[in-house]
Amino acid sequence: MGAGWRIGRVAGIELAVHPSWLVIAFLLTYTLAVALFPDVTPGLSAGQYWLLGAGTAVLFFASVLAHEFAHAILARRLGLKVSGITLFIFGGATSIEADSRRPRDEALIALAGPITSLVLGAVLLGIGILVPQREARTLLSWLGFINVVLGVFNLIPGYPMDGGRVLRAILWRLRGDQLTATRQAAIVGRVVGYLMVGGGVYWALTSRSIGSGLWLALVGWFLATAAESSQQQAGIESSLSGVRVRDAMDPSPADVSPNETVASLVSDRMLRGDDRSFLVRHEDGGLAGVVTLSDVRRLPREQWDGARVTDIMTRFGDLATIGPDAPLVDALRLIQEREVGQLPVIGDEMRHPMGVVTLRGIMRLIDARRKLGV
């Protein structure tokens, strides 16, 4: 989904909003303000309906965050690193930087979200029954109902939804191989997604709920696409099974001095060779950071002569690095997670890189192994 707009951190977990979230936020507020509340609580002003709609939408997305935080907190308790939570058009997504170590952990993390939504929904429905005020009762009842729907919907066995992840955990336990389980769960996810597309189109054509039918079809298409992507990713990871970072890294990557001017970096290196990223080394060979073409492009051209590499580079403390004996699959995941093109490979001697592993190099290796059938 991409990083989105960072909006803060809660319990050490970074929160972000994807631009697509604005679409569903507006549609939900509009539907509540124009359709639901005027129908069940007549007599209020248009401004009051919009205020109720906006407030209910905010509380709904707070409950989506609660769903995702349940995943994140349990993942951290089981020793996994959680990089963040992103709200987007179809709800939320929790970014966990590594797969679960055991099928049981996978199932528990996946179930944490739906269980949280179901419990929250039941509590809100119960409170809604007891509240005498009509507007508050409507708000709480709607929130309770939608949380129950959210919990049940996420239990559908369509990978990569929560129910699909539970299915993967079961298949992992039965088959004994995580990648095989992922591929099989993804196939089920694609089938479920296409069934939702078909059901949504049929609903739209045979009922007055055209919008609901089209929305179900859109969600199904998203699920089928995500499942297909997961299936392809599992195939890539399978082709890299047993390969270590040292087997794919470039042991002699291009490097520059932190004191070199940006103008010299561009004219003497970027325009005269194939390299677009460079390790930045101190005189003793220690790694100061990494500088890339993107870093240069962010600096106005008229400042190139006066600026040094150290002024624009990504510093060592902010870099994602990896060890030479780590599985190459881990490097690929980290590159994708951090949205970078390369990772410095750091051995036992801290800050003295042994080389660089790049996305381009990994993809070339995958292509070669597939063509050679190894």
Q: Which residues are catalytic?
A: 68
183 and 231 Cβ atoms separated by less than 8 Å: yes
Euclidean distance between CA atoms 326 and 304, whole angstroms: 38
246 and 353 Cβ atoms separated by less than 8 Å: no
* Residue located via tokens 């055209």: 210
Cis, bond preceding 258 (omega within 30 deg of 0): no
Phi-psi region of 96 (alpha: psi -120 to 50; beta: other; left: phi over 0): beta
Euclidean distance between CA atoms 218 and 67, whole angstroms: 22
Q: Per residue, what are the HEC states of the chain?
A: CCCCEEEEEECCEEEEECCCHHHHHHHHHHHHHHHHHHHHCCCCCHHHHHHHHHHHHHHHHHHHHHHHHHHHHHHHHCCCCEEEEEEECCEEEEEECCCCCCHHHHHHHHHHHHHHHHHHHHHHHHHHHHCCCHHHHHHHHHHHHHHHHHHHHHCCCCCCCHHHHHHHHHHHHHHCCHHHHHHHHHHHHHHHHHHHHHHHHHHHHHCCCHHHHHHHHHHHHHHHHHHHHHHHHHHHHHHCCCCEHHHCCECCCCEECCCCEHHHHHHHHHCCCCCCEEEEECCCCCEEEEEEHHHHHCCCHHHCCCCEHHHHCEEHHHCCCECCCCEHHHHHHHHHHHCCCEEEEECCCCCCEEEEEEHHHHHHHHHHHHHHCC
